[in-house]
């Protein structure tokens, strides 16, 4: 019952942060996302979204607006991700899911796997994308899943040199994510 949105781009840095923020800002709830790099340096990003009402998108004008916004936001080279100003629904604010961050290594693929659990809310993926951006971490893939009020996300990361994140970098990233996501819960 969700609407699938496919974004194909040549690895524009931080397109995930930009696209997820734009979708959130347009009032769409991202239920699931897959970020899949291709061998030719592109990325196929699939987002499954619903309107705030919980309905799939059927209006042709609304779909055209979403497409035009995503084209503009993803093609911007240096502009920051749009700021998400939507508030969490009252029902979601009643739940408090502590942010949990864990790391593991995928040695054959030479990347670090970040597993993150946090309370779901508007702008969550955008906040995660901004932290990855600020920390200079490259996103090579992601699996996003929402279970009720809980987001359970997996990200495949490297440093700017294409290497897995070392222990110090993992610790800095975990601290930055926890600060950003827990601060956002208190502010909501």
Name the nearest CA neighbour of 17 among 84, 114, 110, 117.
84
Crossing angle between the packed helical segments 167-187 and 124-134, to the nearest 10 degrees: 140
Main-chain phi, psi angles of 86, to 5 degrees: -65, 145
The predicted-structure confidence for 94-128, as pLDDT tens digits, reads as follows 456 789 999 999 988 889 999 999 988 878 888 89
CB 163, CB 106: distance < 8 Å: no
Name the nearest CA neighbour of 7 among 36, 40, 29.
36
**Per-residue confidence (pLDDT) for residue 91, from 0 to 100:** 42
pTM for the model: 0.77
Joined tokens for residue 103:
């790391």
């Amino acid at each position: 019952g969700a609407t699938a949105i496919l974004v194909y781009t040549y690895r524009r840095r931080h397109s995930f942060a930009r696209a997820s923020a734009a979708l959130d800002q347009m009032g769409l709830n991202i239920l699931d996302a897959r970020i899949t790099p291709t061998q030719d340096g592109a990325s196929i990003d699939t987002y499954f979204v619903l309107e705030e009402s919980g309905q799939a998108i059927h209006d042709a004008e609304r779909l055209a607006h979403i497409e035009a916004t995503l084209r503009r936001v993803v093609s911007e080279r240096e502009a920051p991700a749009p700021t998400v100003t939507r508030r969490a629904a009252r029902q979601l604010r009643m739940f408090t899911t502590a942010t949990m961050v864990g790391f593991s290594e995928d040695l054959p693929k030479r990347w670090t796997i970040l597993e993150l659990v946090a309370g779901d809310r508007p702008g969550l993926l955008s906040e995660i994308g901004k932290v990855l951006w600020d920390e200079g971490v490259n996103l090579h893939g992601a699996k996003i899943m929402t279970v009720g009020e809980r987001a359970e996300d997996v990200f495949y990361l490297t440093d700017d040199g294409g290497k897995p994140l070392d222990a110090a970098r993992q610790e800095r990233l975990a601290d930055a994510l926890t600060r950003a996501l827990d601060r956002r819960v208190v502010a909501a």
